[in-house]
Amino acid sequence: MIDRLREEPVTLSSLEEIIDEFDFLDDSEDQIEYLIDLGLDLPAIDQSLKTEQFLVHGCQSNVWLDVEFVGNPALMLVKAESDAMIVNGLVALLMAIFNGKTAEEALEINVREIFDRLGLDRHLSPQRKNGLNGMVQRIKVAARLQLT
């Protein structure tokens, strides 16, 4: 399982594939549709994670997010789900970015650069951006805690 995490994220698409697809789709509506499609491929999270403890605050929709580190070396495994289709697409993107990374690698990732590269700002409302930032912060906090 750890080798699989290192080679590819839990989602079906790698970050490189997502970037290539966004580059290919020059129409904003097509990009949003692709983002939604990414979210449709997410595995459902365990119902035990759908509690206040795992709820990401600041998002206009419900998002439950958990981060684990598995194996040796410990590699990040993000598990998350939302009740909004577009947010599930953002979750899939975050999983492609972070899954299979060490805590050190995760902390070095500049998520803002990736979002800017994809042009996500033009697709997201301020509340969605807040929720996305909340998810990224939760992931980064988990990485910092892993190092302590």
Instruction: Give 96-146 pLDDT, tens digit per residue.
Output: 999 999 999 999 999 999 999 998 878 788 888 888 999 999 999 999 999
Query: Which tops the pLDDT comparison, 58 or 20?
Result: 20
How many whole angstroms separate alpha carbon 111 and alpha carbon 129? 12
Q: Which helix (H) or strand (E) holds 113?
A: helix 111-118
Q: Are 140 and 106 in contact (CB under 8 A)?
A: yes
Please state the rounded mean pLDDT for residues 51-56.
95
Name the band, by pLDDT with cuts 50, 70 and 90, for residue 12: low
How many whole angstroms separate alpha carbon 96 and alpha carbon 113? 15
User: Residue 3's pLDDT is what?
Assistant: 40
Angle value at C-alpha 22, between 18 and 125, nearest 5 degrees: 100
Token pair belonging to 105: 């690698």
pTM listed for this prediction: 0.88
Q: Which helix (H) or strand (E) holds 63?
A: strand 63-70
What string of DSSP letters covers 39-55?
HHTPPPPPGGG-SGGGB
- What are the structural domains of the chain? 2-147 (3.90.1010.10)
